[in-house]
């Protein structure tokens, strides 16, 4: 059973649009998940109900083995911690140029993910970002990146090489 909760006093609401779930706070939308079965692909829109979608919340799609591809619209700037963790059937994700932050464990254990194109606005590769993505064969680090977190590429057994830009000044253990 899915319930819609509206909290007027806090000026926020948790709502479902189709089966995409989201939270509105101060006229800004954060995607919180998807209710029901996913038939493979989902689109994350840039606007819902006239309000800008700026974030995919932490754990939003965690463990969704029915998710195979995602297209995130331009305007979304944050992808929360563990947002796609354990999406073992995820093979393709389109991250918009507007993205400025991808938190730790975002794509951890996405064992079918083969390619990840990181937008140029990203300045830090988070810890455990693609940890355990054993099918990942291509990962380009943008020139603006200055740090790479611990175990960012841990257990990416199909990743044969990574070019590290000159701007990177910090690489944590196990990266």
Q: pLDDT, tens digit, for every residue of 26-55?
A: 999 999 999 999 989 999 999 999 999 999
Cα 15 from Cα 19, distance rounded (Å):
10
Q: pLDDT, tens digit, for every residue of 125-175?
A: 999 999 999 999 999 999 999 999 999 999 999 998 899 999 999 999 999
| CB of 44 closer than 8 Å to CB of 35 | no
Neighbouring C-alpha atoms within 13 Å toward the C-beta of 115: 6
pLDDT of residue 85: 98
41 — phi, psi (to 5°)? -110, 145
Query: DSSP string covering 61-88, please?
Result: TTT-TTEEEEEEPTT--EE-TTTTTT-T
Six token digits for residue 56: 């995919």
Q: Is residue 5 over pLDDT 50? A: no
Query: DSSP string covering 135-155, please?
Result: T--EEE--TT--EE-TTTTTT
Residue 121: Cβ within 10 Å count: 14
Q: Is residue 79 over pLDDT 90? A: yes
pLDDT of residue 6: 34
What's the pLDDT band for 2 if we cut at 50, 70, 90? very low
Question: If you average pLDDT over residues 69-86, what whole number do you get?
Answer: 98
pLDDT of residue 17: 53
Q: pTM for this one?
A: 0.89
Six token digits for residue 51: 């309000």
* CA-based end-to-end distance of the chain: 42
pLDDT of residue 9: 32
| CB of 51 closer than 8 Å to CB of 28 | yes
pLDDT of residue 34: 96
What's the pLDDT band for 81 if we cut at 50, 70, 90? very high
Six token digits for residue 149: 């977190």
pLDDT of residue 161: 86
The residue that leads in pLDDT, 7 or 63, is 63
pLDDT of residue 3: 32
pLDDT of residue 114: 94
pLDDT of residue 107: 98
Cα 147 from Cα 74, distance rounded (Å):
24
Q: Which of 76, 80, 114 is nearest to 98 (CA)?
A: 76
């Amino acid at each position: 059973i899915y319930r819609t909760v509206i909290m007027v006093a806090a000026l926020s609401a948790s709502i479902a649009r189709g089966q995409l779930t989201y939270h509105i706070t101060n006229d800004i939308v954060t995607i919180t998940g998807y209710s029901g079965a996913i038939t493979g692909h989902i689109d994350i829109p840039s606007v819902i109900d006239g309000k800008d979608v700026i974030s995919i919340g932490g754990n939003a799609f965690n463990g969704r083995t029915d998710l195979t591809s995602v297209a995130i619209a331009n305007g979304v700037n944050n992808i929360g911690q563990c947002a796609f963790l354990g999406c073992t059937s995820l093979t393709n994700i389109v991250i918009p140029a507007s993205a400025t932050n991808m938190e730790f464990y975002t794509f951890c254990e996405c064992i079918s993910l083969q390619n990840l194109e990181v937008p140029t606005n990203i300045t830090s590769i988070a810890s455990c970002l693609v940890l355990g993505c054993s099918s990942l064969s291509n990962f380009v680090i943008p020139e603006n990146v200055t740090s790479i977190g611990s175990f960012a590429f841990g257990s990416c057994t199909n990743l044969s090489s990574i070019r590290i830009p000159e701007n990177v000044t910090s690489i944590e253990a196990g990266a």
